[in-house]
């Protein structure tokens, strides 16, 4: 069989091929790390969330993984937004979208950062991160619906790029509704669901201690632990946003079968976090090959053949 199977996706006119790329966070802080993603099979290059000032992040150890997933309290280590703008021209050679994740520590910071990034034509998109669980003393914006509304309103006023938002996981239908109501008020190019699930705690029974140092061991949970939550968030926002806003699925994807489930739930593209941290850039080609093999088995040749077509009982 030589039928062509495509895992190409498009968001606001930007081609993402394959539809699988790195989640903001792991291994995307330095230029070298971003170049490694550029040289890999990843469908896009996503940066670590950036802030106004460069940050060293929280004290180490700040990342830990077990067989089922990860906990982190990185605390936004990044080079500062200007560096990620500066890298954009060099990222062009990889011929894939370069997406800057923005997580300013205040409304004013986000306005300044997004305004500045607007001058850089080689930035293809911005993912505005409203869901960092690890800045000590700062609650997640995405759990405050009024603050999220104001943030989007003010940031979009100065934005010149394709801009999407990265959400926290929600756990209640009322909260899905409330956030969808906020999102519908603004023109967003995409919605990424979900950030890590905070505030979790890993405990080592042998040592009788926590796994990471910051915040007494509390941090954001990723990997297998959160896949059902991520799938639920993708599905709900896909439905509540009337299947019109592209959803980027993220949370526990480590195989082509996982990616298939997210697309079936309604995702346009998917990101890999914990598994990328675990296995490095090789995961992008593997997950894409597995997804294509599964599509072939099922007789699908494009993502449109099954996106969102989840059956209910």
CB-wise, 24 or 37, nearer to ligand RRO? 24
- The interface with ligand RRO within residues 3-42 (CB under 6 A) comprises 25
Stretch that binds ligand RRO, among 3-11, 71-79, 106-114, 141-149 (CB under 6 A): 71-79
Q: How far is the CB of 232 from ligand RRO (least distance, A)?
A: 18
Please give the structure tokens belonging to residue 7.
């895992």
CB-wise, 49 or 268, nearer to ligand RRO? 49
The helix (run of H) or strand (run of E) holding residue 175 is helix 173-184
Q: How far is the CB of 62 from ligand RRO (least distance, A)?
A: 8
The alpha helices in 7-132, defined as continuous H runs, are 31-39, 81-86, 88-91, 107-117
- The interface with ligand RRO within residues 204-223 (CB under 6 A) comprises 220
Closest CA to 251 of 166, 179, 189: 166
Stretch that binds ligand RRO, among 68-76, 83-91, 145-153, 253-261 (CB under 6 A): 68-76
Residue 85 near residue 50, CB atoms below 8 Å: no
Instruction: Say which DSSP state 78 is in.
Output: B
CB-wise, 103 or 232, nearer to ligand RRO? 103
- The interface with ligand RRO within residues 103-122 (CB under 6 A) comprises 103
Stretch that binds ligand RRO, among 131-139, 242-250, 255-263, 299-307 (CB under 6 A): 131-139
Q: How far is the CB of 77 from ligand RRO (least distance, A)?
A: 7
Rounded Cα–Cα distance for residues 287 and 279 (Å): 12
Non-local (6+) Cβ contacts of 297 within 8 A are: none
Among 7, 40, 49, 229, binds ligand RRO (CB under 6 A): 49
Residue 122 near residue 157, CB atoms below 8 Å: no
Among 7, 42, 47, 131, binds ligand RRO (CB under 6 A): 131
Residue 151 binds ligand RRO, judged by CB under 6 A: no
Please give the structure tokens belonging to residue 18.
């394959």
- Give the active site residue among 19, 50, 132, 193: 132
Stretch that binds ligand RRO, among 29-37, 66-74, 107-115, 264-272 (CB under 6 A): 66-74
Rounded Cα–Cα distance for residues 172 and 233 (Å): 10
Rounded Cα–Cα distance for residues 267 and 313 (Å): 20
Residue 130 near residue 142, CB atoms below 8 Å: yes
Residue 197 binds ligand RRO, judged by CB under 6 A: no
Q: How far is the CB of 51 from ligand RRO (least distance, A)?
A: 9
Count the Cβ atoms, other than its own, within 10 Å of residue 127: 26
Residue 195 binds ligand RRO, judged by CB under 6 A: yes
Produce one character per residue of 216-237: b if its CB has 16 or more CB atoms within 10 Å, e if not.
ebbbbbbbbbbbebbbbbbbbb
CB-wise, 76 or 180, nearer to ligand RRO? 76
Rounded Cα–Cα distance for residues 206 and 204 (Å): 6
Active site annotation includes 132: yes
Residue numbers at the binding site for ligand RRO (CB under 6 A): 25, 49, 72-76, 103, 129, 131-134, 195-196, 220
Show which residues are catalytic: 132
């Amino acid at each position: 069989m030589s039928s062509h199977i495509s895992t190409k996706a498009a968001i606001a006119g930007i081609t993402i091929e394959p539809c699988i790329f790195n989640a903001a966070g792991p291994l995307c802080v330095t230029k070298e790390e971003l170049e490694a993603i550029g040289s890999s099979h990843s469908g896009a290059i996503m940066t670590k969330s950036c802030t106004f000032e460069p940050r060293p992040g929280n004290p180490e150890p700040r990342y830990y993984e077990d067989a089922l997933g990860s906990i982190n309290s990185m605390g936004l280590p990044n080079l500062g937004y200007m560096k990620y703008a500066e890298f954009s021209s060099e990222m062009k050679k990889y011929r894939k979208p370069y997406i800057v994740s923005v997580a300013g520590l205040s409304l004013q910071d986000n306005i300044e950062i997004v305004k500045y990034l607007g001058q850089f034509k080689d930035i293809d998109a911005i993912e505005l991160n409203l869901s960092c669980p690890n800045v000590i003393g700062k609650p997640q914006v995405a759990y405050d619906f009024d603050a999220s509304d104001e943030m989007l309103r003010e940031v979009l006023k100065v934005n010149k790029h394709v801009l999407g938002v990265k959400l926290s996981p929600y756990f209640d239908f009322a909260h899905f509704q409330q956030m969808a109501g906020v999102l519908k008020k603004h023109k967003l190019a995409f919605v990424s669901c979900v950030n890590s699930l905070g505030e979790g705690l890993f405990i080592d029974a042998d040592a009788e201690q926590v796994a990471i140092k910051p915040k007494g061991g509390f941090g954001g949970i990723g990997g297998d632990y959160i896949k059902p939550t991520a799938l639920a968030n993708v599905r709900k926002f896909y439905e509540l946003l009337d299947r019109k806003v592209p959803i980027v699925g993220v949370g526990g994807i480590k195989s082509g079968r996982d990616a298939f489930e997210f697309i079936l739930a309604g995702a346009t593209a998917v990101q890999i976090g914990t598994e990328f941290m675990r296995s490095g850039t090789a995961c992008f080609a593997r997950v894409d090959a597995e997804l294509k093999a599964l599509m072939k088995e099922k007789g699908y040749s494009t993502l449109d053949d099954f996106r969102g077509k989840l059956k209910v009982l």
